[in-house]
Structure 1
Amino acid sequence: MRTNRLKRFGGRMLAISVAACGIAAAAAVPAAAEEQPTRQELRADCESGAGKCTFNSPQLGEAYLGRFRQVSDALFNCSTSDASQGMTWSDTVGTTDSLGLSVTAGGKIAGIIDLSVTASYNHSWSSTHAESSSLNMTVKPGEVGWIARAQVMQQVTGTWQTHYDSPKWGHYYWFFQDTVTGPAENGTDGKNNVVVIRTRKMTAAEKRSCAADGHGGRAFVRQR
Structure 2
Amino acid sequence: MSIMSTRATILAALALAISASLTTLTGVASANHAGQPTRQQLMNKCAGADYCEFKPQGGMQVFGGPNMLAGSSTNCTNFNQTRVIRWESTSGTTNTFGVEISAGVTLGEIFELSIKSSFQREWSWTDTKADEIRQDVGKKSRVDIYAQKQQTRVDGQWEIHFGSRYYGHYYWFVNGSVTGQTKGQPWHTTARQVKANC
Q: 2:40·2:99 contact (CA, 8 Å) conserved in 1?
A: no
Greater share of strand residues, 1 or 2? 2
TM-score, normalisation: structure 2: 0.71
Q: Report how far residue 101 of structure 1 moved.
A: 6.2
1:199-221 C-alpha deviation (Å, 9 max, x unpaired): 2123xxx3xxx3xxxxxxxxxxx
1:122-170 C-alpha deviation (Å, 9 max, x unpaired): 2222222222122222211121112211111111111101233333222
1:15-55 C-alpha deviation (Å, 9 max, x unpaired): xxxxxxxxxxxxxxxxxx87211112222333xx3334210
Matched residues in 1 for 2:101 and 2:190: separation? 28
What residue in structure 1 maps to residue 166 of structure 2?
Answer: 168
Matched residues in 2 for 1:120 and 1:95: separation? 19
Which letter does structure 1 place at the counterpart of 2:190?
Answer: V
Q: Report how far residue 70 of structure 1 moved.
A: 0.9
Q: Report how far residue 114 of structure 1 moved.
A: 1.2
Q: 1:114·1:125 contact (CA, 8 Å) conserved in 2?
A: yes
Q: 1:144·1:200 contact (CA, 8 Å) conserved in 2?
A: yes
Q: 196, 205, 215: which is aligned to 2:190?
A: 196
Matched residues in 1 for 2:193 and 2:137: separation? 7
What residue in structure 2 maps to residue 42 of structure 1?
Answer: 42
Q: 1:95·1:183 contact (CA, 8 Å) conserved in 2?
A: yes
Q: 1:196 to 1:118 in 2, by over 3 A?
A: same
Q: Percent identity?
A: 28
RMSD, aligned α-carbons: 2.4
Matched residues in 2 for 1:57 and 1:186: separation? 20
Q: Report how far residue 115 of structure 1 moved.
A: 0.7
Matched residues in 2 for 1:199 and 1:143: separation? 7
Deviating runs (4+, > 4 A) in structure 1? 99-102
Matched residues in 2 for 1:80 and 1:97: separation? 48
Matched residues in 1 for 2:37 and 2:105: separation? 22
Q: 1:31-180 residue pairs with structure 2 within 5 A? A: 35-46=35-46, 49-51=47-49, 52-72=51-71, 74-99=72-97, 103-180=101-178
Greater share of helix residues, 1 or 2? 1
Matched residues in 2 for 1:45 and 1:179: separation? 18
**Structure 2 unmatched ranges of 5 or more:** 1-32
Q: 2:70·2:87 contact (CA, 8 Å) conserved in 1?
A: yes
Matched residues in 2 for 1:81 and 1:150: separation? 30
Matched residues in 1 for 2:88 and 2:98: separation? 24
Q: 1:43 to 1:97 in 2, by over 3 A?
A: same
Structure exhibiting the larger radius of gyration computed from Cα positions:
1
Which letter does structure 1 place at the counterpart of 2:59?
Answer: L
Q: Secondary structure at the match of 2:94?
A: coil
Query: How many residues are treated as equivalent by the alignment?
Result: 165
**Structure 1 unmatched ranges of 5 or more:** 1-32, 211-224
**Which is further off, 79-88 or 109-118?**
79-88
Matched residues in 2 for 1:98 and 1:120: separation? 20
**Which is further off, 99-108 or 159-168?**
99-108
